[in-house]
Amino acid sequence: MSLPLSKTICLIHPARPASARCPSCGTFYCAECITEHEGRLTCARCLAAEQAPPVEKPSRVKIRLPIMPAIQFLAGLITLWFIYHAFAQILLSIPVDLHDGTIWK
Ligand SMILES: [Zn+2]
Ligand SMILES: [Zn+2]
């Protein structure tokens, strides 16, 4: 972002000018809202997100994940079936005489 730090305000406190920018989410915060954690600056939201155990996310992913590959697999199967079917129709349209060697005489 090209905005100078002096012209930005804190996301939580709009009346206060921002004094730091969270390197994780890129949001501007005042000195009170930004904290130092394990030697680097971070905002309260990012700190909470980092420390919160990811309980809900994996379960959501677990439900979603098997559905998409199944749909993709079925779509691929249907596509392949149409290709093979079209190819079979082309093969069937070839006259039997072609194999006798009499058609190009
Ligand atoms: Zn942040
Ligand atoms: Zn603030």
- Mark whether 42 and 13 lie in a shared domain: yes
Given a cut of 70, whether residue 16 has pLDDT beyond it is yes
d(CA 44, CA 23): 12
d(CA 43, CA 51): 12
- Domain membership of residue 102 (yes or no) is no
Beta bridge mates, 17: 9
Give me the pLDDT at residue 25, please: 93
What domain range is 60 assigned to?
Answer: 56-96
Give me the pLDDT at residue 95, please: 81
Q: What is the pLDDT of residues 63-100, one digit of tens each?
A: 556 788 899 999 999 999 999 999 999 999 988 777 77
Q: What is the pLDDT of residues 27-62, one digit of tens each?
A: 999 999 998 888 888 998 898 888 877 666 555 555
Q: Ligand 2 center to residue 92 CA distance, Å?
A: 75
Question: Beta-strand (E) ranges in 1-105?
Answer: 20-21, 28-29, 34-37, 40-43
Burial of 34 (0-12, 13-18, 19+ CB in 10 A): buried
Number of domains in the chain: 2
User: Residue 47: which H helix or E strand, with range?
Assistant: helix 44-51
Q: Ligand 2 center to residue 68 CA distance, Å?
A: 42
